[in-house]
Amino acid sequence: MFRKLSSLVRISKFFHSHEDSAQKVFRDSISSTVKGVQQINYVVEFDNNLSAEEKATQKRFLVYRYDPADPEDFPKYVSYYVDLKKIPPMYLDAILYIKDNYDSSLSLRRSCREGICGSCAMNCDGLHSLACIKAIDTDLTKPSIITPLGHMFVVKDLVVDMTNFYTQYKTIDPFLKRKSPKPDNKEYYQSPEDRKKLDMLYECVLCACCSTSCPSYWWHPDRYLGPAVLMQAYRWIVDSRDEYTDERLEKLAEDMRVDECQNIGMCTATCPKGLDPQKSMNHLMKLIDDFKERRGAQEAL
């Protein structure tokens, strides 16, 4: 199914030189299945005393609200009506408008408002994304559903507990490790071809959108490292300046925490920066298999 879609994507690229429309076809086909999964259990109307005509011209936002520290609170969706003409086009602008004008107790993480820090990762209309670079769907007949990242413990409203994600990232040693000092004591040299290998890997912002949309990660968050972390592990293995490649591969090979990838593909579909964790993970598994063969051959000697 994915192969057929990818051929569709390649054909449409000839007619629209936009990357966006090609990705949009892929995304729409996926988000339609994801949207069906969301079950809205409890909707609370935010008291606005709006008439029906006003509501018709404004966009309805169903925002997930829950305060675990409050003993009487329970998870619910609160509906807010926002006039889309008053706000810039992104989801983050809508949420901040709600926070400024309607309900200032709404908690969310956000920092750069340009998609580079990775703080505002949340589920907007079915797909995980960065709220600051995702445009609001301007269809006024459908409500917009905003929830926190999936299968993560909620700290409050849209803020989510990321400690497991960060500790997993720490385990792969995401820094340059060298055995020999700098040549001429100046800098680590790298050819343009080697630098090109890092493209589409270094842009990762660690927003956790991909990991939290991977069903494999949902079922085994403690065992499986997740696409984000594994893509970064691949980034350090493929970096020509790093000299601990074999040790890194050995660490990944022994723990069997890479094998949970079932090639589902949600990570690539979801990535708000347009990266491809699935491809990187497949390359990584191939490298690990090669390493295991080499190690087996060496031990046989």
Partner 1 sequence: MIIQNIKSLKIYKQNFRSSQQFLQSTKHMAFSPLQLEILKFYRQMLKFANTKVGPSRDSLLVYIKGEFRKNQEIPKRQFRRIEYLLRQGQNRYAILKDGNIDQIR
CB-CB contact of 122 with 146 (8 Å) = yes
Nearer to partner 1, 158 or 266 (CB): 158
Q: Report d(CA 34, CA 25) in Å as an integer.
A: 15
Residue 71 binds partner 1 (CB under 8 A): yes
Residues 102-161 that bind partner 1 (CB under 8 A): 153, 161
132, 113, 152, 87: which is closest to 272 by C-alpha?
Answer: 132
- CB of 68: closest distance to partner 1 in angstroms? 4
- CB of 2: closest distance to partner 1 in angstroms? 36
Q: Rounded to the nearest 5 degrees, what angle is found at the Cα of 185, between the Cα atoms of 182 and 188?
A: 40
Residue 37 binds partner 1 (CB under 8 A): no
Residue 191 binds partner 1 (CB under 8 A): no
Concatenated DSSP letters for 180-202? S--GGGT-----HHHHHTTTTTT
Q: Report d(CA 286, CA 170) in Å as an integer.
A: 23
Q: What does the chain come to in residues?
A: 301
Q: Which of 69, 297, 300, 301 binds partner 1 (CB under 8 A)?
A: 69
CB-CB contact of 60 with 137 (8 Å) = no
Instruction: Please identify, among the stretches 65-73, 121-129, 173-181, 240-248, the one whose residues bind partner 1 according to the rule CB under 8 A.
Output: 65-73
- CB of 67: closest distance to partner 1 in angstroms? 10
Residues 154-183 that bind partner 1 (CB under 8 A): 161, 163
Q: Which of 7, 44, 68, 114 binds partner 1 (CB under 8 A)?
A: 68
Query: Three-state SS for 59?
Result: strand
Instruction: Please identify, among the stretches 26-34, 64-72, 217-225, 253-261, the one whose residues bind partner 1 according to the rule CB under 8 A.
Output: 64-72
- CB of 148: closest distance to partner 1 in angstroms? 14
Q: Report d(CA 28, CA 152) in Å as an integer.
A: 24
- Give the interface with partner 1 as residue ranges (CB under 8 A): 68-69, 71, 153, 161, 163
